[in-house]
Amino acid sequence: MKAIVITFLLTASLLSSENKEAARAQIIEKILSNVSIGKAKIVWSDNKELIAGFKKNGDLTTAVNCEKATIVVIENKENIQNDACKNKPVFVLNYNLLKDLPESFGAFFWKKGRPNIVIIQPRTESQNITVSKELTIYVEEKVW
């Protein structure tokens, strides 16, 4: 129930927000704050506006390149060609990337005008990622 309320509030803030990227950054920050990777979370993204949103909110530490990050947030598959980046937990911003990148453990995307969060359980287990109870309603067994 708590996760549904959080999702509703985040969606409402996204719809009322003048800056879509800032709201998206807040949602992704909330998601990433509810996963544990066993070390400090340092985030890099190929979306510069998203990184700016992370820096503005100040809840996540950001990296200047993916080699220095511990979590990678990807919008375009071409931007994760480096093997050093592929060997890190990857969170994607497009459902098709969730299918195309087996190293991705979750996604945040829009489908039919609604925000969707998907976390793939077998991928989190293989990467030793722990998901909090708040996100359990978004956990799926496989990519649909």
pTM for the full model?
0.83
Domain ranges of the chain: 2-140
Tell me the per-residue pLDDT of 89-136, one tens digit each, with 9 for 90 and over: 999 999 899 988 888 999 999 888 788 999 999 999 999 999 999 999
Neighbours of 100 (CB within 10 A): 12
Cα separation, 14 vs 18, whole angstroms: 8
- Given CATH 3.30.70, say whether it is the number of domain 2-140: no
Tell me the per-residue pLDDT of 69-88, one tens digit each, with 9 for 90 and over: 999 999 988 877 677 777 88
Q: Which helix (H) or strand (E) holds 63?
A: none
Tell me the per-residue pLDDT of 41-76, one tens digit each, with 9 for 90 and over: 999 998 888 888 888 877 789 998 888 899 999 998
Which structure tokens are listed for 128? 């030793």
